[in-house]
Amino acid sequence: MSRREDDAHAETGSLAGLKVIDLSRVLGGPYCSQILADHGADVIKVEPPQGDETRAWGPPFQDGNASYFQGVNRNKRGIVLNLKEAPQREMLCTLLETADVLLENFKPGTLEGWGLTKDAIQARFPRLIHCRVSGFGEDGPMGGLPGYDAAVQAMVGLMSVNGDLGGRPTRVGVPVVDLVSGLNAAVGILLALHERERSGKGQFVDITLYDCGISLLHPHLANYFMSGKVPTRSGNAHPNISPYDSFATADGEIFLAVGNEGQFSRMCDLLGVPELATRPEYRTNGDRNVNREALRRDLERLLSKWHTNQLAEKLIRSGVPCGPVLSIDNVVDHPHTSHREMLVEIGEYRGTASPIKLSRTPASYRRKPPKFGEHNSEVLKKSEG
- Answer whether residue 221 is part of any domain: no
Please determine, for residue 3, whether its predicted confidence score (pLDDT) is greater than 60: no
pLDDT digits (tens, 9 = 90+) for 140-199: 999 999 999 999 999 999 999 999 988 999 999 999 999 999 999 999 999 999 999 999
- Answer whether residue 333 is part of any domain: no
User: What pLDDT score does 1 carry?
Assistant: 47
Domain end: 274, 295, 324, which one? Answer: 324
Instruction: Confirm whether 38 is a catalytic residue.
Output: no
User: What pLDDT score does 4 carry?
Assistant: 52
Q: Are 287 and 168 in the same domain?
A: no
User: What pLDDT score does 12 carry?
Assistant: 79
User: What pLDDT score does 193 carry?
Assistant: 98
User: What pLDDT score does 7 carry?
Assistant: 56
pTM for this model (two decimals):
0.92
Cα gap 276→258, rounded to integer Å: 14
User: What pLDDT score does 63 carry?
Assistant: 86
Q: Are 16 and 51 in the same domain?
A: yes
**Burial tier of 78 (Cβ tally within 10 Å: 0-12, 13-18, 19+):** buried
- Answer whether residue 237 is part of any domain: no
Query: Containing domain of residue 129, as a range?
Result: 3-216+339-384
Q: Which of 22, 52, 178, 245 is catalytic?
A: 178
- Answer whether residue 281 is part of any domain: yes
Task: State the CATH number of the domain containing residue 290.
Answer: 3.30.1540.10
Cα gap 163→156, rounded to integer Å: 15
User: What pLDDT score does 11 carry?
Assistant: 76
pLDDT digits (tens, 9 = 90+) for 93-150: 999 999 999 999 999 999 999 999 999 999 999 999 999 999 999 999 999 999 999 9
- Answer whether residue 233 is part of any domain: no
Question: What's the number of domains the chain is made of?
Answer: 2
Domain end: 273, 299, 324, which one? Answer: 324
